[in-house]
Amino acid sequence: MTVSFSDLALSEAIQRALVARGYSQPTPIQAQAIPHLLAMRDLLGVAQTGTGKTAAFALPILELLSRERVKPAAGTARVLVLTPTRELAIQISDSFRAYGKELPLRHTVVFGGVGHKPQMDALARGVDILVATPGRLLDLMQQRCVRFDRLACFVLDEADRMLDMGFLPDVKRIIKALPVQRQTLLFSATMPDDIAKLSGSILHDPVRVTVTPVSSTVELIEQRVLFVDTQQKRAALVAFLGDASVKKVLVFTRTKHGANRVAEQLGKSGIVAEAIHGNKSQSARQRALEGFRAGKVRVLVATDIASRGIDVEGISHVVNYDLPEVPETYVHRIGRTARAGNSGISLALCDRSERGLLKDIEKLTKQRITVIEAPVPAQRQAA
C-alpha cells in the first residue's frame, strides 16, 4: 500500500508547505520514521544522504512543537540538531524554514567562520529549533549564550561523519550538558564501533530504521569508468563536458589544490566552474553553492567536504576525477545524483595507480562498473 504525506498525521500547515514544494509521497525512511517520532520514540536511522532523512526528522519535530504551543524561554532551545558541517547546517535550517513556513516557531543556525554577534542575539531571544555545528556550539555554551534545561529533542545527524572529522569528543561534551529526559534521534550512513557504542549510550529503546545500506549504490545511477593516463584526465573531462546533455556536474578531486587546479583548467576551456573545499571562506563556499544551485555555475569541483550534506537538486552527473581511497566515499560521492527518484550518471577517470581502488569499490558495491572507451555521456553511447 502506497503511503502519502496525508496519511502521516501532519497538520494542514505542514501539508500545504509540502504541496508547495511538490512533495506528495514520503520516501521509505520518512514513511517508516515519522509515525514513531510522532509517538515520541527514540530512533536510530541508518541512512545515507539522499534518502530524505532531513524531512524524516524535521516534519515530526515541527508537528510536535506546533502542537505544544510553548514559547521558548530566553537563552534556551527546545530542539537541538547537531551536524558536522556548515553547509549541512544551513541546508537543515533551510528545510525547517520551508516546512514550517506557516508555523509560529523560531529557529536559528550557528556555525563557525562568521561573527558571533548575530548568533548570540538570536539565542538570547530563545529558539524553538537550534541547528548547530559542534565547535561553534561549544564556544557559545562556554559563553553561557544558550542552555538546554528545557530541551525536548536532540538530533545527532551524520554521526559517522562526526567521527571521521574528529568531532566525537566535542559531541560527547555537548551531550553531557543535555537533560537525560529527552527524545533522541541518531542518524548515520555507516555504523562503526565508536558510533554503535555512542548510540547505545544515548538512545533509550530506539526504533531502528535502515534504508539503502552503504554497500549498495543507488540503482538509478549508471556507473561508468574510463581508463586514462593521469596527464590525460583534464582533456577527458573537457570532452565529457562537451555534450549539452551534461547539465549540472559535480566533480570530485582528492585534494584542495587539485580542486582549484581543475576548476581553473575548466575555466580556461570556457566551462563555468567553481571549486569548493575547506580552505575556501564560508562566503566563497556559499556563493559557489548558490551559483551551482541556480544553474549559473555548470560544474562544481569539490573535495569530500561535499560528498555528504551538499543537497543540490538536479545534479545530472558526478565525475570522480580522482578515485577516493575509501570505497564507501565513492558511494557517498555518486549519491549526489539520482535523487528523489531521478536517474543519474557517474563517471570515474581511473589511471594506472588507481586500479586497486577501483577493485575495492567494486568489491564493496558487489557490481562491476561498466568500462567505456571514450569520455562521452552514456546517453550518447546508447544512441
The pLDDT value recorded for residue 159 is 93
The SS3 of residue 188 is strand
If asked whether residues 116 and 30 sit together in one domain, one would say yes
The pLDDT value recorded for residue 244 is 81
Model pLDDT for residues 193-219, shown as the tens digit of each residue: 899 999 999 999 999 998 865 555 566
> Which residues does 265 contact at the CB level (< 8 Å), separation at least 6?
234, 238
The pLDDT value recorded for residue 49 is 67
pLDDT bin (cut points 50, 70, 90) of residue 290 is: confident
The pLDDT value recorded for residue 165 is 82
If asked whether residues 237 and 155 sit together in one domain, one would say no
If asked whether residues 256 and 180 sit together in one domain, one would say no
Residue 350 has pLDDT above 70, yes or no: yes
Of the candidates 155, 189, 211, which is a domain's last residue? 211
182-186, 246-250, 328-332: range with highest mean pLDDT: 182-186
Q: How far is it, in rounded angstroms, from Cα 53 to Cα 164? A: 20
Nearest-5° Cα angle at 95, 219 to 36: 70
Q: How far is it, in rounded angstroms, from Cα 260 to Cα 263? A: 5
In the chain, what is the greatest distance between 2 CA atoms, to the nearest angstrom? Answer: 63
Residue 378 has pLDDT above 50, yes or no: no
In this structure, what CATH number is given to the domain that contains residue 360?
A: 3.40.50.300
The pLDDT value recorded for residue 284 is 83
**242: containing domain:** 221-382
Ranges assigned E (strand) in 23-100: 43-47, 77-82
pLDDT bin (cut points 50, 70, 90) of residue 379 is: very low
If asked whether residues 207 and 227 sit together in one domain, one would say no
CB-based contact 56:81 (threshold 8 Å)? no
If asked whether residues 72 and 160 sit together in one domain, one would say yes
Q: Which long-range contacts (CB under 8 A, 24 or more apart) does 358-365 make?
A: 358/225, 358/323, 360/327, 361/323, 361/327, 361/330, 363/327, 364/214, 364/215, 364/327, 364/328, 364/330, 364/331, 365/215, 365/216, 365/217, 365/327, 365/330, 365/331
Model pLDDT for residues 295-323, shown as the tens digit of each residue: 999 999 998 865 555 667 788 899 999 99
The SS3 of residue 47 is strand
If asked whether residues 257 and 169 sit together in one domain, one would say no
pLDDT bin (cut points 50, 70, 90) of residue 287 is: confident
CB-based contact 11:66 (threshold 8 Å)? yes
* Inside any domain, residue 249: yes
Q: What is the chain's mean pLDDT, rounded?
A: 89
| pLDDT, average across residues 347-351 | 96
CA 295 from centroid of its chain's CA atoms:
20
The DSSP 8-state label assigned to residue 136 in this structure reads H
If asked whether residues 207 and 251 sit together in one domain, one would say no
CA 187 from centroid of its chain's CA atoms:
11
| pLDDT, average across residues 114-137 | 95
Is the pTM higher than 0.85? The answer reads no
The pLDDT value recorded for residue 338 is 72
If asked whether residues 103 and 194 sit together in one domain, one would say yes
Backbone dihedral angles phi then psi of residue 203, each to the nearest 5 degrees: -100, 140
If asked whether residues 282 and 155 sit together in one domain, one would say no
Residue 89 has pLDDT above 90, yes or no: yes
Q: How far is it, in rounded angstroms, from Cα 244 to Cα 351? A: 26
* Inside any domain, residue 216: no
Q: Choose among 9, 152, 131: nearest CA to 68.
A: 152
Of the candidates 211, 240, 272, which is a domain's last residue? 211
If asked whether residues 85 and 146 sit together in one domain, one would say yes
Backbone dihedral angles phi then psi of residue 233, each to the nearest 5 degrees: -60, -40
If asked whether residues 194 and 64 sit together in one domain, one would say yes
Strands 249-252 and 273-276: unpaired
Residue 155 has pLDDT above 50, yes or no: yes
CB-based contact 57:29 (threshold 8 Å)? no
Number of domains in the chain: 2
| pLDDT, average across residues 324-330 | 85
Q: How far is it, in rounded angstroms, from Cα 162 to Cα 82? A: 10
End-to-end CA distance of the chain: 37
Model pLDDT for residues 157-180, shown as the tens digit of each residue: 999 889 878 899 999 999 999 999
What percentage of the chain has pLDDT greater than the value 90? 63
If asked whether residues 131 and 26 sit together in one domain, one would say yes
CA 250 from centroid of its chain's CA atoms:
14
CB-based contact 17:96 (threshold 8 Å)? no
Model pLDDT for residues 47-82, shown as the tens digit of each residue: 876 678 999 999 999 999 999 888 999 999 999 999
Written as nine digits, the cell of 9 is 498525521
